[in-house]
């Protein structure tokens, strides 16, 4: 009887040993081999994308058209509203880049669209947009200009939202409406295969072109 118990206990102990071994093996296979192969192929075959798709402007500075920036200058096209902030880690230290620069981050609104707070946030945004676009009077404002995205960093707006700003940009930049239209057309993306995604305009790219940072 006692011997049976010992056998059962040792079989159970074996299970725990195997569990530890399996955890270690999986950590090596997934956290080592899979991670290593993924990174290696990505870095060799797709180095630009794998490192954040950063582009260099004609002024020698680094830019990204992937992530959105807050724009409020009337000479720039405006994008989705953002909530700029500085992030800190759990110790209260600001998170900096490789050179130790303080960086700007952004967050979504995190408001319920049924709430009164949200209604007043949108009302204020509508007022600000309309004040800068007297050409449009009381026309409805395209929704992208008064709603924050889910990431907080949306670099794009709809065609409707881009076209809404063309007269204002022509007025403030001194370029003709045709020139602005051409820039917007260059920065417009159509749905992939005509199926996936909304037709949209990259606001950061438009402004880089307006400022002559990229051609």
Least Å distance, CB 171 to another protein, is 15
Least Å distance, CB 1 to another protein, is 20
Rounded to whole angstroms, the Cα distance separating 56 from 49 reads 14
**Is residue 212 involved in binding another protein (CB under 8 A)?**
no
**Is residue 134 involved in binding another protein (CB under 8 A)?**
no
Least Å distance, CB 159 to another protein, is 4
To which residue do tokens 């920065």 refer? 187
Least Å distance, CB 35 to another protein, is 5
To which residue do tokens 């417009």 refer? 188
Determine the Cα angle at 155 with ends 64 and 114, to 5°: 150
Q: Which of 9, 135, 197, 212 binds another protein (CB under 8 A)?
A: 197
In the bound state with another protein, the residue whose beta carbon lies nearer, of 7 and 104, is: 104
Write the DSSP symbol of residue 32.
Answer: I
Largest alpha-carbon pair distance within the chain?
Answer: 97
Least Å distance, CB 106 to another protein, is 9
For residue 34, with 0-12 CB atoms within 10 Å meaning exposed, 13-18 middle and 19 or more buried, which class applies? exposed
**Is residue 44 involved in binding another protein (CB under 8 A)?**
no
In the bound state with another protein, the residue whose beta carbon lies nearer, of 2 and 145, is: 145
**Is residue 173 involved in binding another protein (CB under 8 A)?**
no
Rounded to whole angstroms, the Cα distance separating 75 from 171 reads 9
**Is residue 72 involved in binding another protein (CB under 8 A)?**
yes
Q: Which of 133, 152, 168, 209 binds another protein (CB under 8 A)?
A: 152
In the bound state with another protein, the residue whose beta carbon lies nearer, of 3 and 97, is: 97
Name the token pair of 36. Answer: 């290593």
**Is residue 132 involved in binding another protein (CB under 8 A)?**
yes
- Check if the beta carbon of residue 114 is closer than 8 Å to that of residue 139: no
In the bound state with another protein, the residue whose beta carbon lies nearer, of 71 and 171, is: 71
Q: Which of 1, 4, 99, 215 binds another protein (CB under 8 A)?
A: 99
**Is residue 137 involved in binding another protein (CB under 8 A)?**
no
Name the token pair of 49. Answer: 């994308």
Of the candidates 120, 82, 85, the residue with the CA atom closest to the CA atom of residue 104: 85
Q: Which of 2, 3, 6, 97 binds another protein (CB under 8 A)?
A: 97
Distances, alpha carbon 194 to alpha carbons 3, 135, 157, 162, 183, in Å: 72, 32, 18, 20, 22
């Amino acid at each position: 009887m006692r011997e049976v118990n010992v056998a059962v206990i040792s079989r159970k102990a074996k299970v725990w040993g195997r569990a530890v071994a399996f955890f270690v093996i999986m950590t090596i296979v997934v956290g080592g081999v899979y991670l290593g192969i993924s990174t290696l192929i990505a870095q060799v075959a797709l180095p630009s994308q794998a490192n954040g798709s950063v582009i260099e402007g004609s002024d020698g500075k680094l830019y990204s058209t992937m992530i959105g920036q807050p724009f409020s200058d009337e000479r720039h096209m405006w994008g989705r509203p953002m909530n700029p902030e500085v992030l800190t880690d759990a110790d209260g230290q600001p998170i900096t880049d490789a050179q130790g620069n303080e960086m700007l981050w952004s967050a979504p609104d995190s408001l319920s669209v049924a709430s009164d707070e949200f209604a007043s946030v949108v009302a204020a945004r509508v007022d600000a947009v309309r004040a800068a676009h007297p050409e449009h009077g009381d026309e409805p404002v395209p929704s992208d200009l008064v709603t924050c995205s889910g990431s907080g960093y949306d670099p794009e707006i709809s065609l409707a939202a881009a076209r809404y700003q063309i007269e204002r940009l022509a007025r403030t930049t001194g370029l003709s409406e045709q020139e602005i239209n051409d820039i917007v057309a260059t920065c417009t993306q159509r749905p992939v295969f005509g199926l996936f995604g909304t037709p949209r305009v990259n606001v950061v790219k438009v402004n880089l072109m307006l400022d002559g940072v990229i051609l």
